[in-house]
Amino acid sequence: MTTADGTVLGTTKIADSGPAARRWNLVITGDGYTGAQMGRFADDARSFADTLLATPPFDSLRDAVNVYRVDVRSTDSGAADPAECGGSAAAPRTYFDASFCTNGARRLLAVDDTTVLTLAGDQVPQWNMVIVAVNSTVYGGSGGSVAVYSLAPGANEIALHEIGHTAFRLADEYDYYRGCGVDTDRDRHPFFEPAQPNVTVDADRATNKWRDLVLPATPMPTTSNPDCSQCDTRPSPVPAATVGAFEGAHYHHCGAYRPQFDCRMRALGHPFCAVCTEQIRRTLQPYLAARED
pLDDT exceeds cutoff 80 at 289: no
Q: What is the pLDDT of residue 13?
A: 98
pLDDT exceeds cutoff 90 at 292: no
pLDDT exceeds cutoff 90 at 293: no
Question: Quick check: is 279 in a domain?
Answer: no
**Same structural domain, 204 and 141:** no
Contact of 74 with 94, CB cutoff 8 Å: yes
**Same structural domain, 180 and 261:** yes
Question: Quick check: is 42 in a domain?
Answer: yes
Number of domains in the chain: 2
pLDDT exceeds cutoff 70 at 68: yes
Q: What does the angle CA 48 – CA 272 – CA 50 come to, to the nearest 5 degrees?
A: 20
Question: Quick check: is 113 in a domain?
Answer: yes
Segment 166-172 shows an average pLDDT of 98
> HSE-up of 4 (CA within 13 Å, CB side)?
2
Question: Residue-wise over 40-68: b if at least 16 C-beta within 10 A, else e?
Answer: bbbebbbebbeebbebebbeebbebbbbb
Model confidence pLDDT, tens digit, residues 142-165: 999 999 999 999 999 999 999 999
Share of the chain above pLDDT 70, in %: 98
Q: How confident is the model at residue 290 (pLDDT cuts 50, 70, 90)?
A: low
Backbone angles phi, psi at 24, to 5 degrees: -90, 115
Model confidence pLDDT, tens digit, residues 231-286: 999 999 999 999 999 999 999 999 999 999 999 999 999 999 999 999 999 999 99
Model confidence pLDDT, tens digit, residues 90-119: 999 999 999 999 999 999 999 999 999 999
Q: What does the angle CA 15 – CA 13 – CA 129 come to, to the nearest 5 degrees?
A: 80
Q: Which residues fall within 8 angstroms of residue 36, CB to CB, at 6 or more apart?
A: none
The range of the structural domain enclosing residue 70 comes to 3-168
**Same structural domain, 162 and 224:** no
Model confidence pLDDT, tens digit, residues 182-223: 999 999 999 999 999 999 999 999 999 999 999 999 999 999
pLDDT exceeds cutoff 90 at 4: no
The pTM for the full model equals 0.95
User: For residues 36 and 50, what is the distance between their CA atoms, to the nearest angstrom?
Assistant: 23
**Same structural domain, 7 and 146:** yes
**Same structural domain, 44 and 149:** yes
